[in-house]
Amino acid sequence: MNSLVTRIDELIEKHSLLKHQFYVMWNEGMLSRESLSGYSKEYFQLVKAVPTFVGMIMEHASHGKDTIAANQKEESEHIKPWMKFADSLGVSQPGLEEYAGLEKTRQAVSNLSKLMTTFEGGAAAMYALEQEIPKISLSKIDGLRKFYNITTDDAIEYFRLHTEADIRHAALWRQILEKTPIENEDELFTIASKSVSAQNMLLDSCYEAYC
């Protein structure tokens, strides 16, 4: 593993979303149903944007477009499972689709979008986004079952899918980063750091509005 990937992994661990107060409360059973439903609306703004992010990276790819396209297709297919999760919390599909997100949520998603303007930069941003998601998804499923009586297959399908899919997705971005010229590493590390900051900002939005 090259030094760039190691540095990004250390960054992700240091600023892990599982350490964010919103997810700490989730995993301690301290969130209200209203907090979870609010979260489902805010996080949907990111869920529906991810296929576009991947498409932006693909536009800059000189090779491996088929693999990236398959990734994008999979991300698009994950939107419906998120809607089922939101529905389990009383958020209707029309209500979810019509909701535009809080200002801080929109800013967080916008900040992520701005990182997708180059092939390697997008890979760094997406690696920082997807590397920890399998672990986070397992934690979310456990919390939903243990504390919130959300146990149906439909309700947890999104998270179940991400315990596996993002292992593959992160591996794709990692392969790109491992081929990065050493002179580009600092720039890509900065992009990864901005990605992690934007993800935490999205949870800040949820915490400030719904907790």
Q: What is the CATH number of the domain that holds 203?
A: 1.20.910.10
**Can you give the pLDDT at residue 63?**
87
Closest CA to 12 of 207, 170, 206, 164: 170
DSSP assignments along 179-196, one per residue:
T--GGGHHHHHHHHHHHH
Task: Tell me how far apart the alpha carbons of residues 47 and 79 are, in angstroms, rounded to a whole number.
Answer: 6
Closest CA to 170 of 74, 76, 40, 106: 74
The neighbour count for residue 145, using CB atoms within 10 Å, is: 13
Residues of the chain with pLDDT under 50: 1
d(CA 131, CA 194): 15
Number of domains in the chain: 1
DSSP 92: -
Whole-number pLDDT of residue 75: 96
pTM of model > 0.85:
yes
Give the pair of three-digit tokens for residue 67. 């693999």
d(CA 180, CA 110): 25
List the domain range (segments joined by +) for residue 45.
3-210
In tens, the pLDDT along 35-82 reads 999 999 999 999 999 999 999 999 999 988 999 999 999 999 999 999
